[in-house]
Chains A and B, each alone.
Chain A
Amino acid sequence: MGLYLLSFILFLVGLYGVLTKANIVKIILGSGIMGYAVNLFLILIAYRSGGTFPILLPGKDPGLMVDPLPQALVLTSIVIELGTTALLVALAVNIHKHYGTLNVRKVRRLKG
């Protein structure tokens, strides 16, 4: 339970970065931290105490294994996170090209 709370606190750290920082690069890093916290939470709820990795090896009794299904889900999640991060970085590059700044409070073409 304490580990779940710690991963929730890690999520809140990322959320704090997304909400309060002005630099776009820091916002992207905050969204990445939020994603990592969710991945960590999913891996933690799949853990069985005393279990080993869910891979069959020659000459080894499988025994108790951790749940492999959330691990496959997290692998997909990491791939999607990579795609969204690449998209965000491309948007940041475009914003820097058009406005000359990475500060979100100075990016205002419509005044008022």
Chain B
Amino acid sequence: MAEKHSGMTLIVKTITRFTVWLILLYGIFLMIHGHLTPGGGFVGGLVVALSFIHMKLAFGKKGPVKGSGKTFLHALDSSGALLFLGIGVAAFFAGLPFLSNFLPKGKLFDLFSAGTIPILNFAIMLKVGAAIFLVFIALNLYEHGSKAGNSEDSKNEKREGE
């Protein structure tokens, strides 16, 4: 309340410090168990992105994560897609068609089983989580056309004053 543009009240911030980790771990849990139970890379990535959005909503711009980190998120986004493609192409070197399951499959209903599918889930989680968080940041920061990242605060204040 005292400072402007620094997120929500103290109650929300204190609760967020506990719940962010729970939400993040739940997303990773959904991703790891993606080949056994409902869930998978997409849902896990959504929940992981929601945990970051939660933190951004509660703490505002002066949060524990400085800046928007857009270049890092773009790198995560692209590396998820590249990892998926790399696993798809790696099946060629095992003498199988594209995206074939060339790793040993293990026992059914084991946590570490199903060959390449957990790795593909991880790639999808990187891609979806980074992309959803990037959508949130891009809609949040009003960086349309003009030069990005330098003077967000002054731009926003000017626009609100108009």
In the assembled complex, B38 has its CB within 8 A of some CB on chain A: yes
A61 to nearest B CB, angstroms? 15
Q: What B residues does A58 contact at CB under 8 A?
A: 108-109
Inter-chain CA distance A90–B142, complex, in Å, is 10
Whether A79 contacts B42 in the complex (CB less than 8 A), given A58-B109, A86-B135, A97-B159, comes out as yes
Interface residues on B, range: 10 to 19
What's the tally of chain A residues with a CB closer than 8 Å to chain B?
Answer: 11
A94 CB within 8 Å of chain B: yes
Q: Would you call the interface of chain B mostly helix, strand, loop, or mixed?
A: loop
A75 beta carbon closer than 8 Å to chain B? yes
Contact bitstring A84-103, B, C-beta under 8 A = 1, else 0? 00100110011001000000
- Contact surface of B with A, Cβ cutoff 8 Å: 37-38, 42, 108-109, 135, 138-139, 142, 144, 159
A53-B38, A79-B42, A93-B142 given; 14 more Cβ-contact pairs under 8 Å: A55-B37, A55-B38, A58-B108, A58-B109, A75-B42, A86-B135, A86-B139, A89-B139, A90-B139, A93-B139, A93-B144, A94-B144, A97-B142, A97-B159
